[in-house]
Amino acid sequence: MSTFVPAELPARFGARVVDIALVATIDGLLGRAIGFGFGWLSSGSARPARGQDTRREAGCRIAARAMRAFERASLPKLPYKIWMDSRFHHSGPLSELAVLGIALALVACDSSTGTSSSGATSSSTSSSSGSAGGGRDITDAVFTERSGDCGAYADRYVATVEDIQQKVGFEASVEIVADASSCSLTSNAIPNHDFDDATAAFATKTKAIEKTFVIPRFPVMAGSSTALGLQTYDAVMLNGVVVDLLAAGCFGVGDGKIGCSDLATPWRYDPMSPTAGFGTDAHNAHTQPDGRYHYHGDPLAMYGDSTVVSPVIGFAADGYPIYGPYFDDGGRVRAAVSGYTLRAGARPTGASDPGGDYDGTFVDDYEYTAAGDLDECNGMTIDGQYGYYVTRGYPWVLACLRGTPDASFNKQP
């Protein structure tokens, strides 16, 4: 499948898209014609990613985004005929022909676009590089590469996404350049997926903010681990979004959301707890006061389902890779399990304590018991490669750094 058809579409729409696109299988001629038509029609209205896409490529992107919009209009929840009748025959200006055209355009994009690979993307989502100054389109891409060397991902990447609540479009930009000892990753902090869905409550509007991170290509274990801090980013994902796990809010400090700058202060809130109220979206992310979008946990993007060993999706500040949750455990693919568990019983009830049961609201509710697969930093070594793994439980991505963090991850220059 081509780059311009998001990898999740076949899985999400299944037979519905296939059913309404069958006519395009006759040598794909009709599909190709409609796909090229989308491209030509888009030439006066669509702004291609970084100004470099051809009109056909921009048209393919419009078709893919239209289908994602239909998903939000509940296409996967209803049988096709009922959905078509209720959605178009009675309530909107579109018709079955419009949906058929979009489906055919997606087939056209699939059949008329050649594929090329890069370290970051799978063959089903990799993009042609385009002309000078362009980049590989990773919009909603599922990655496959597992190399722990950041140099394997050197390239330029782009994505076209939407702030769903604000109804504002953004163009993401990531460039990775490698030299003999390190990689520089420059991004504008915009993800490769839509964000700020209806479940989110961002305190500030998202802004594109450029920053460059230096990632060691060949990290070395330090004599002791480095604790996470409030003045540094913990990691950067391959889509250019930072991981910033610790909240600046503690029980009894201000409003509990900001102002808790002393790491020794107890009862720091865990933003991933559903009781903490940090307004994260479906990708476990929200914005900082300056508008930077950042993850507090598993991004729920860039890796495949539970049947596939997860790829590298980012790099920690010490240079070690971050993998999705799934690994090969003696021939069985399963999710890595954190070694942290909830403490038993109830919290203290002193004047400066929150009381109540240990339920995960606070970071202090957890303790490391080595009950899972991962070490205290949330990592393990497989086939000679150490890496951190996103997990379904605390600490979600990593709890400390086994190597030496690079100064480029400091929040202040």
Q: Residue 137 domain-assigned?
A: no
DSSP result, 99-125: HHHHHHHHHHHHHHS-----SSS-TTT
Please report whether residue 208 resides in a domain.
yes
The answer to whether residue 341 sits within a structural domain is: yes
Q: What is the mean pLDDT of residues 166-170?
A: 97
Strands 242-243 and 235-237: antiparallel
For the segment 29-61, what is each residue's pLDDT rounded down to a tens digit?
344 444 444 444 444 333 333 333 444 555 565
Q: For the chain, how many structural domains are there in total?
A: 2
Q: Between 400 and 28, name the one with better pLDDT.
A: 400
Is the domain of 103 the same as that of 239? no
Residue 126 falls inside a structural domain: no
pLDDT at 412: 80
Whether 196 and 102 map to the same domain: the answer is no
Q: Are 36 and 89 in contact (CB under 8 A)?
A: no
Q: Is the pLDDT of residue 403 over 60?
A: yes
Task: Establish if 86 belongs to a structural domain.
Answer: yes
| Calpha distance 142→122 (Å, rounded) | 6
> What is the tens place of the pLDDT at every residue in 288-325?
999 999 999 999 999 999 999 999 999 999 999 999 99
CA–CA distance, 247 with 259 (Å, rounded to integer): 10
pLDDT at 34: 47
Q: Are residues 292 and 393 in the same domain?
A: yes
349, exposed or middle or buried, with CB in 10 Å at 0-12, 13-18, 19+? exposed
**3-state class (DSSP) for residue 70:** helix
Burial of 321 per CB tally in 10 Å (0-12, 13-18, 19+)? buried
Query: Are residues 411 and 269 part of one domain?
Result: yes
Q: Which domain holds residue 223?
A: 192-413
Are 88 and 207 within one domain?
A: no
**Whether residue 348 sits in one domain with residue 199:** yes
Shared-domain flag, residues 395 and 277 = yes
Length of the chain: 413
Residue 124 lies in a domain: no
pLDDT of residue 194: 98
**Per-residue pLDDT at 65:** 60
52 part of a folded domain? yes
Mean pLDDT to the nearest integer, 347-363: 95
pLDDT tens column, 238-283 = 999 999 999 999 999 988 888 999 999 999 999 999 888 889 999 9
Q: What is the mean pLDDT of residues 120-142?
A: 61
Domain edge (last residue) among 112, 136, 170? 112
Q: Are 97 and 239 in the same domain?
A: no
Same domain, 96 and 210: no
Instruction: Tell me what the pLDDT averaged over the chain comes to.
Output: 79
With a cut of 60, say whether residue 392 has pLDDT above it.
yes
Looking at the fold, whether 252 and 384 belong to one and the same domain comes out as: yes
232 and 360 belong to one structural domain: yes
Same domain for 198 and 105:
no
Check whether 16 has a pLDDT greater than 70.
no
131 assigned to some structural domain: no
Choose the final residue of a domain: 93, 112, 131.
Answer: 112
Which residue among 112, 131, 153 closes a domain?
Answer: 112
Long-range CB pairs of 199-203 (<8 Å, 24+ gap) are: 199/281, 199/282, 200/165, 200/279, 200/280, 200/281, 200/282, 200/286, 201/279, 201/286, 202/165, 202/279, 202/281, 202/286, 202/287, 203/279, 203/286, 203/287, 203/289
